[in-house]
Amino acid sequence: MKYIFVSGGVLSGLGKGIATSSLGLLLKRSGLTVTAIKVDPYLNCDAGTMNPYEHGEVFVLHDGGEVDLDLGNYERFMDVTLGSDHNITTGKIYRSVIEKERKGDYLGKTVQIIPHIVQEIKNTITNVGKSSGANVCLVELGGTVGDMESMPFLEAARQLQMELGKDVVFIHTTLIPIMGVVGEQKTKPTQHSVKELRSIGIIPDIIIGRCSEPLAQSTKEKISLFCNVPVEAVFTAHDVSTVYMVPLLLHEQGLTDHVRDLLGLKKNRTELKAWGEFVERIKSPKETIKIALVGKYTGLKDSYISHYKAFEHSGAKSGVNIEVVWIDAPERGPHYEEELKGLMKELSKVHGILVPGGFGVRGTEGKIEAIKYARENDVPFLGICLGLQLAIAEFCRNVIGLKGASSTEFDENTKYPVVDILPEQLRVTQMGASMRLGAQKCKINEGTLAHELYGKTEIFERHRHRYEVNPEYIDRIQEAGMIFSGISEDNIKMEIGELKEAQYHIGCQFHPEFLSRPERPAPLFLGLVEAAKKYKRSREG
Ligand code: GLN
């Protein structure tokens, strides 16, 4: 088992996650099996309770783990399936040490950050790495070198480097800003962050410098000299038009062979043809399709990152560029009517509409109006999780005539609780009724749009929700023309609902965006894109 640690210096948001994912992709395509761990130095035990507006999307894994969105990047780039133990947080480490302390496992010793917390970190990393069965485990250290809270993790990395020797490679990613009229590439921040690393005993093997342009040879030489790394070990990650180019640009500079060499592995052919073709398709779309994303967290696009990625994957497959039109759903208040008008105007300009998942009542009435618009004008529509639930409410209100039909999440006293908590979900936890989380089987009926899209009668998709379509309304809904083409294994939970008399009006209770891959877009997204393409044609006559 070999480990690659990736740390970040100077500032956050440098693209450390993309560098890690890219290297994972390169190593995998050079014939190795890979896995990855994200270390987050915060005290939350997992990302489940974190506000997506502050922290970006909560990514959901097969096993139901609610994790940092970087794990989504790993899964997509490396095409792997990770478990929740691949996201290590300070909270998780402390919880486990404190539980052991309470059980008396430390035999009366004084329990301390060093050695106990650090030992726990090392054990966790090596256990996760080994149990994955992969050849190489990439460990991305969240935060910036010098932060107080990342210290124990860096110390753990230092100790592992000493204990495992050649089986550990340490990569440091930094920023090289360009200053002044002459456009000089500045290495001082890099020098300082490497100095910080060296003061705790870590000498990086490789430095990846993020810069708006390729690093000059003289810049590389300077970094090499002052940071104590060979000049061939300084790589550039310069700004590119799409993140999917990053693996190619690192490979062209020799990163794959360099890392393999450091790990004591012979050079091997790196199969990048299919990836290169995917990147070409992303870079040269034939036309632009506009899709509205009517959501709630549209201020921070990272809160919908997997949706965005699924659109990129689908666009590449379809040969189109997807322009996502971010719309904050109108909320009832003094300006509601005005905002609704604005919404309708925006919607009249797009070729497809997506209502994503979400929690809480804010914006739900506005989203229902968007769905109504989609249904009445036959604009291709995909509703995800909350989006499906609201599509059901819209259909029940406006087609069946159940005035005020809603989900009990938003209206406890609704006369028509068409979406509700099922008795089996009623096990109450600290955060309310328990969530349905992770991958679950969904059976698909033949002869439906869902079957046409998936081409299968059984799929697994990831869930993250509490509420379900209320079984008491299923017959009425189906009789009125919205059929349930996907159902859970126990036949109780409705997984996919589709409007019979529509081009593309479909919703799913699960989150297909989490399983979308560059070369295998999520079928429901691809379907939306294809339908939007047709819609655009028909409108242009
Ligand atoms: N709030 C809804 C529920 O809990 C939908 C959740 C979601 O969209 N992920 O069922």
Question: pLDDT for 486-511, tens place per residue?
Answer: 999 999 999 999 999 999 999 999 99
In CATH terms, the fold of domain 2-12+25-32+94-277 is Rossmann fold (3.40.50)
Report d(CA 506, CA 498) in Å as an integer. 4
So what's the pLDDT on residue 238?
93
Write down how long the chain is: 541
What does the pLDDT look like over 230-285, one tens digit per residue? 999 999 999 999 999 999 999 999 999 999 999 999 999 999 999 999 999 999 99
> Is there a catalytic annotation at residue 385?
yes
- Ligand 1 pocket: which of 66, 306, 359, 420 to mutate (most atoms within 8 A of CB): 359
CA–centroid distance, 493 to ligand 1, in Å, is 14
Tokens matching residue 336 = 């509601």
Q: Where in the chain is the domain with CATH 3.40.50.880?
A: 285-417+469-485+494-540
Give the residue, by CA position, lying nearest to ligand 1 atom 1. Answer: 359
Domain 285-417+469-485+494-540 part of CATH 3.20.20.150: no
The most confident of the ranges 53-62, 332-341, 514-523 is 514-523
**Does the pLDDT at position 463 exceed 60?**
yes
> Is there a catalytic annotation at residue 287?
no
So what's the pLDDT on residue 423?
80
Among residues 62, 365, 511, 530, which one is catalytic?
511
Cα–Cα–Cα angle for 108, 111, 116, rounded to 5 degrees: 120
Which residue's entry shows tokens 């590119």? 240
Report d(CA 196, CA 46) in Å as an integer. 28
Report d(CA 349, CA 339) in Å as an integer. 16
CA–centroid distance, 512 to ligand 1, in Å, is 14
Which helix (H) or strand (E) segment holds residue 109: the answer is: none
What does the pLDDT look like over 133-180, one tens digit per residue? 999 999 999 989 999 999 999 999 999 999 999 999 999 999 999 998
So what's the pLDDT on residue 425?
72
Burial grade of 181 (CB within 10 A; 0-12, 13-18, 19 or more): exposed
DSSP characters for 16-58?
HHHHHHHHHHHHHHTT--EEEEEEE-SS-SSGGGS-HHHH-PP
Q: Please identify, by atom number, the ligand 1 atom nearest to the C-alpha of residue 384.
A: 8
Give the residue, by CA position, lying nearest to ligand 1 atom 8. Answer: 357
CA–centroid distance, 410 to ligand 1, in Å, is 11
So what's the pLDDT on residue 430?
53
Query: How far is Cα of residue 7 from the mean position of the Cα atoms in its chain?
Result: 20
- Return the bridge partners of 320, or none: 287
Give the residue, by CA position, lying nearest to ligand 1 atom 6. Answer: 465
Query: pLDDT category, 301, cuts 50, 70, 90?
Result: confident
Mean pLDDT over each residue of the chain, to the nearest integer = 94
CA–centroid distance, 54 to ligand 1, in Å, is 19
So what's the pLDDT on residue 529?
98
What does the pLDDT look like over 343-402, one tens digit per residue? 999 999 999 999 999 988 889 999 999 999 999 999 999 999 999 999 999 999 999 999
What does the pLDDT look like over 178-236, one tens digit per residue? 998 888 999 999 999 999 999 999 999 999 999 999 999 999 999 999 999 999 999 99
Give the residue, by CA position, lying nearest to ligand 1 atom 5. Answer: 386
- List ligand 1's pocket residues with C-beta within 6 A: 357-359, 385-386, 409, 464-467
Q: Where in the chain is the domain with CATH 3.40.50.300?
A: 2-12+25-32+94-277
Among residues 312, 339, 513, 530, which one is catalytic?
513
CA–centroid distance, 330 to ligand 1, in Å, is 19
CA–centroid distance, 291 to ligand 1, in Å, is 22
Q: Please identify, by atom number, the ligand 1 atom nearest to the C-alpha of residue 356.
A: 8
Give the mean pLDDT of 68-90: 94
What does the pLDDT look like over 410-451, one tens digit per residue? 999 999 999 999 887 776 555 555 889 999 999 999 999 999
> Is there a catalytic annotation at residue 511?
yes
So what's the pLDDT on residue 332?
87
Q: Annotate 162-205 with three-state secondary structure.
A: HHHHHHEEEEEEEECCEECCCCEECCHHHHHHHHHHHHCCCCCC
CA–centroid distance, 447 to ligand 1, in Å, is 28
Report d(CA 302, CA 297) in Å as an integer. 9
- Ligand 1 pocket: which of 57, 467, 493 to mutate (most atoms within 8 A of CB): 467
Among residues 137, 211, 227, 385, which one is catalytic?
385
- Ligand 1 pocket: which of 465, 469, 494 to mutate (most atoms within 8 A of CB): 465
Please report, rounded to a whole number, the percentage of residues in the chain having pLDDT higher than 70. 98
Give the mean pLDDT of 92-105: 95
Question: Please, where are the H alpha helices in 174-325?
Answer: 188-199, 217-227, 246-252, 255-262, 273-283, 305-318
- Ligand 1 pocket: which of 389, 407, 461 to mutate (most atoms within 8 A of CB): 389
